[in-house]
Structure 1
Amino acid sequence: MDPAELTTQQVLERDIPWETYMTTKLITGTCLQLLRRYDKRSESYRAQLLDDDGPAYVRVFVCILRDIFKEETVEYVLALIDEMLTANPKRARLFHDKSLANEDTYEPFLRLLWKGNWFIQEKSCKILALILSARPKTENGLVNGEESSSKKKITTISDVLKGLVEWLCAQLKKPSHLSRAIPTAINCLSAVLKEPIVRSSFVQADGIKLLIPLISPASTQQSIQLLYETCLCVWLLSYYEPAIEFLATTGILPRLIDVVKSSTKEKVVRVVVLTFKNFLPKGTFGAQMVDLGLPQIVQSLKAQAWSDEDLLDALSQLEEGLRDNIKRLSSFDKYKQEVLRGHLDWSPMHKDPIFWRENIMSFEENNFQILRVLITILDSSSDPRTLAVACFDLSQFIQCHPAGRVIVADLKAKERVMKLLNHENAEVTKNALLCIQRLFLGAKYASFLQA
């Protein structure tokens, strides 16, 4: 049979010549005794053995995978481990027992990801993800979290995680199995992306762009699970700033919105809504969400009968965040309209520090169009109030934008403001002076002089 289509049950029906392996010194007498007790026994009997002496069996399995390369035997031992962990995933903790501190428990699985047939690769990936997720969080990077007294080289957690990410990306680019490789890779990825080092490695490996094509409305049960786990990966990446910066360039928002509009699965909707929440305050995501009609979609979702309280809470928070975003957008839109009309007045937004703090980067739109119009107003307007407000707004821009002074100076505003220092209107001269002070001395000194 094609190894790619083997099942765990089919593999476990084999008879492995353990005695021959002991005769050839590939396993020890102790290993043979443990294997005779365990192999071909009932599930309840094996469960008792693992409860009594689990780490010893883990050592036997790891040693066989390390020292024996016969494909049928490697498949058999991987099937035994898979069966053991499927019955009780908490048994993955056995791989981190202190008695195994000198055993390189990860190396065989990491190596088999690249060396074996698809059955071996799939089982190694699944097992590796489980034992990685079960490991105790420690300061050092050793496999079992203990300082090793052994002279053997022990694979570090960093090496394991980076090697696993490399294999996962390879599967997403060129699957080893037509139907199972991508779901297996995504399932494993969703389990290990909780690790900061995995997020970093995945971004550096250019893995994010491999996820984007998988985000589309799904219909079959298998495709819904794949979609959910892919969206789960994106949600986990949304906690990592470099990943968000990359995601902002991928056009991911329309895809996620299509998913949330068409999906009836609560878990899919929940993970996408939580992702939107994380995206909302970042870069231009908020403005894009408003443009794509997400506020109306959220209202529609809130009207549906969801049973998940976390989802309902997340929808309410997202709705509130989008509402605030709309307010900010509309306040800057109003400001733009006022500036473009060329007639300024002391409306509240001019002296509102929150308006300037939240909208300062919007001034960069269209090559600083609004800033250029403000500067042009200094030449073209004869209205004292308009001139005073324009000078004040320029001083606010200088104060709030990280490169404000340099930008305003480059746009030749200094000469225009200097002319207004001798204006007949006191309000104009006061605000022109404030603008010049901030232009020359910076906000701190300008505030001091103004006081």
Structure 2
Amino acid sequence: MDHAELTTEQVLKRDIPWETYMTTKLITGTCLQLLRRYDNRSESYRAALLDDDGPAYVRVFVNILRDIFKEETVEYVLALIDEMLTANPKRARLFHDKSLANEDTYEPFLRLLWKGNWFIQEKSCKILSLIVSVRPKTHDGIIANGDASHSNKKSTTIDDVLKGLVEWLCAQLKKPSHPSRGMPTAISSLSTLLKEPLVRSSFVKLDGVKLLIPLISPASTQQSIQLLYETCLCVWLLSYYEPAVEYLATSRTLPRLVEVVKGSTKEKVVRVVVLTLKNLLSRGTFGAQMVDLGLPQIVQNLKAQAWSDEDLLEALNHLEEGLKDNIKKLSSFDKYKQEVLLGHLDWSPMHKDPWFWRENMTNFEENDFQILRVLITILDTSNDPRALAVACYDLSQFIQYHSAGRIIVTDLKAKERVMKLMNHENSEVTKNALLCIQRLFLGAKYASFLQA
């Protein structure tokens, strides 16, 4: 059978020759005795054994994974551990029992992440993620189990484990080992592990944030909704980490999150996206972008729906108030700047307001006339007739109101771009391109006379 499609149930039907392993001294007599008591027993019987002697069984399982490399046996022991933890996730704490202080319980799973087939990789990831997440927190965070520092053996530190896990998870996001399960396995594990500061740091350093962005899109099937939810959960956890926020600010994350929250009906998805937006609201230009993306109206629509989650309702209220504050804080030039930088030009009132142009001439000089340069880029790159018409008009306004407007616009090589648009198929574009050229060649007063 294809190892990628193996199930735990199928693996657990195998007969493993434990006696042979004892004969070849790969396991001890005590180990064999414990396995005979545990193997092929009912779940309730195994539960009683784990209640009485759980750490001893963990030692047996870890030692087998460390010393025996036969694939069928490795799969079998991983299936036993997976079954044990699935029945009761709290059993993961058994791996941190003080009696295992000298056992390197992390190493076999970390090694198998890279060495095994998909069944082995998937189980190792799931088990290791759970074991790590329930570990007792130490002051330095580097001891593998208990107080293993007095051991002569070099133990795998928690830093080794977390970094190794993140590397494997990023590798799965780039090129999954399994076509349908690689990505969901990685995202599910990340949604737990990104609570760890070291994981956030390693994930950002490995450029992992950009691997999440394409997964933020509206979902319909149950499986895709779960993947979307866990991806958004990852982004929410990253929204508490400044270097990750800096990356989110320069990517398409915000428009994607807004698109998801606008179209999703699944409460847990809406909740985690709204909490993420709430976190980002006060950072950098996120608030202004949210206003530009129409989030205030979306929040109003969401508030009108019957949600049962109190945290979601509270976050929506917080988001609503924060967006109102942002709208108040945004000066007319801030709004204009956002409009230009996002390329969403429209005939909002400020474009034709003489006061706006007289008051903001010095603002246009910021960053070596950045806004003018972006307007000129829009003339080259936009396919939207409205944006082209408004860009031409704004350049003509700058020429009219800035004392050196004609010289500056000419030096920025705008004339050639505008002239090309004089033959545009859209009459609004040709009209405003003509106005701009008139002001460049003839001067502001004469152009105004011609326009009238």
**Mapped partners of 2:279, 2:159: distance in 1:** 27
**Mapped partners of 2:64, 2:283: distance in 1:** 50
| 2:319 pairs with 1:304 | no
**Mapped partners of 2:133, 2:7: distance in 1:** 24
Match of 1:341 in 2: 358
TM-score (ref. length: structure 1): 0.76
**Superposition pairs of residues 131-142 of structure 1, within 5 angstroms:** 131-140=131-140, 141-142=142-143
**Superposition pairs of residues 66-105 of structure 1, within 5 angstroms:** 66-105=66-105
| 2:45 pairs with 1:28 | no
CA RMSD in angstroms, aligned pairs only: 2.4
Aligned-pair CA distance for 1:341: 2.6
**Superposition pairs of residues 113-262 of structure 1, within 5 angstroms:** 113-140=113-140, 141-262=142-263
| SS in structure 2 at match of 1:148 | helix
Indicate the larger mover: 135-144 or 190-199.
135-144
Aligned-pair CA distance for 1:340: 3.9
Indicate the larger mover: 334-343 or 151-160.
334-343
Unaligned regions of 5+ residues in structure 1, if any? 345-360, 371-376, 381-451
Answer whether contact 1:138 1:145 (CA < 8 A) is retained: no
Aligned-pair CA distance for 1:84: 0.2
Match of 2:274 in 1: 273
Unaligned regions of 5+ residues in structure 2, if any? 337-349, 373-400, 405-452
Change (3 A) 1:333 1:131: closer
**Mapped partners of 2:28, 2:319: distance in 1:** 60
Letter in 2 for 1:7: T
Letter in 2 for 1:303: A
Indicate the larger mover: 327-336 or 284-293.
327-336
Answer whether contact 2:97 2:146 (CA < 8 A) is retained: no
**Mapped partners of 2:370, 2:311: distance in 1:** 42
Change (3 A) 1:102 1:364: farther
Change (3 A) 1:343 1:119: closer
**Mapped partners of 1:138, 1:65: distance in 2:** 26
TM-score (ref. length: structure 2): 0.75
Match of 1:11 in 2: 11
Answer whether contact 2:166 2:199 (CA < 8 A) is retained: yes
**Cα deviations by residue, 1:394-432 (Å, 9 ceiling, x for unpaired):** xxxxxxxxxxxxxxxxxxxxxxxxxxxxxxxxxxxxxxx
**Mapped partners of 1:249, 1:275: distance in 2:** 16
Aligned-pair CA distance for 1:137: 1.0
| SS in structure 2 at match of 1:152 | coil
Answer whether contact 1:54 1:94 (CA < 8 A) is retained: yes
Aligned-pair CA distance for 1:143: 1.1
| SS in structure 1 at match of 2:330 | helix
Aligned-pair CA distance for 1:186: 0.4
| SS in structure 2 at match of 1:212 | helix
**Cα deviations by residue, 1:300-328 (Å, 9 ceiling, x for unpaired):** 00000001111001100011111111110
Change (3 A) 1:364 1:134: farther
**Mapped partners of 1:41, 1:143: distance in 2:** 31
How many residues are aligned here? 358
Indicate the larger mover: 253-262 or 72-81.
253-262
Change (3 A) 1:213 1:343: closer
Change (3 A) 1:31 1:265: same
Change (3 A) 1:334 1:114: closer
